[in-house]
Structure 1
Amino acid sequence: MSFIGLNLTNNYSLYAVPAAWIIAFAPHFYAVTVFNSERAPGTPEWDNREPHSNLAKLKEAKLSPNAHGIYTRAEAAQQNGFQNLPLFAAAVLAGNFARLSPSTLNTTAALYLVSRIIYNVVYITNTTKSTANVRSVVFVSGVITLMSLFVKAGNKLF
């Protein structure tokens, strides 16, 4: 059996945890790019030596309303990704501890990663209430995917 060219008899699920970290961190790079490319002339660029001080520079940078929205949504998407990372890691570990099939672990991990990519894109580009609702549906779908691993692990261990 294969999924996106991967042999599902091999367990790749633990590799999905660092992949989820990268997916969670990616919106920050986009936010910094927007900040640096859209800031007002003569205002300081993003300074990675003191990243927390850059929030004060946000007002000074005088980003357009659109760029400001993209920046803040990208940073919020990153924060949400890191908030959900422990739940994902725990679900993958629970599934591995219960010795769920590699097919189940790989497919569930892949579905979660895809949901996080979609979530990031929808969150960053969102400008309407209906798109915000789509973002929420994608978020809940990803969480349900994780919860299914806990339930399957619990059922196997019970």
Structure 2
Amino acid sequence: MASTVQPYNWSIHAIPAAYLLAFPPYLYQFARCMTASNYTATNIVPRTNLELLKPKLPNNVWQSLVRARGAHLNALEGFPLFAAAMIAGNYAKLDTREMNTLAADYLLLRVVYTGLYMTVKSEAASYLRSTVYAASLSVPLYVLWKAGNRIAADKF
């Protein structure tokens, strides 16, 4: 009789990884805001920097800062759904390999989405970004659906 070795379940570890993915765009935005403004931006009320500095910054710089802030906020907005999905999937004892794969898919899609969010400058390309966003959103929704079905059926 062959023994099956369960893979290490790192899907819960993907939760802090997903949270940390929100911060590179913020750090980029803050550092670039400081240098572009000759350090007149403030850390006292940093959320006001972009609005206060808009008239003082070249438009292309300001646009890149706004996109970075948007990428940061979007990652934070999507984080609770992903965290809930990973916890629910583990609670429902969904397949470890599938949970690992779905967690990795989500993280990869979020990296691609963030890159697109920060670099896309055309209306046409923005739809690619939206497609990647929808794909990333589908991962936690799928996990929650599967977990709900498993729990409802009480088959775990």
* TM-score, length-scaled by structure 2: 0.86
1:55, distance to aligned residue in structure 2 (A): 3.6
Give the direction of change, closer, same or farther, for the CA distance of 1:119–1:8 in structure 2 (3 Å limit). Answer: farther
Who is 1:47 aligned against?
A: 42
Q: Structure 2 stretches of 5 or more lacking a match?
A: none
C-alpha RMSD of the superposition = 1.8
May I ask how many residue pairs the two structures share in their alignment? 148
Give the direction of change, closer, same or farther, for the CA distance of 1:8–1:58 in structure 2 (3 Å limit). Answer: farther
Of 9, 12, 18, the match for 1:11: 9
The SS at the match of 2:13 is helix
Matched, 1:59 2:54: yes
1:154, distance to aligned residue in structure 2 (A): 2.0
Give the direction of change, closer, same or farther, for the CA distance of 1:111–1:54 in structure 2 (3 Å limit). Answer: same
Report the Cα distance in structure 2 between the residues aligned to 1:50 and 1:70, rounded to whole angstroms. 20
Identity of aligned residues (%): 34
State which structure, 1 or 2, has the greater radius of gyration over its C-alpha atoms: 2
* TM-score, length-scaled by structure 1: 0.85
Residues 21-32 of structure 1 mapped to structure 2, 5 A cutoff? 21-32=19-30
Who is 1:89 aligned against?
A: 83
Who is 2:102 aligned against?
A: 108
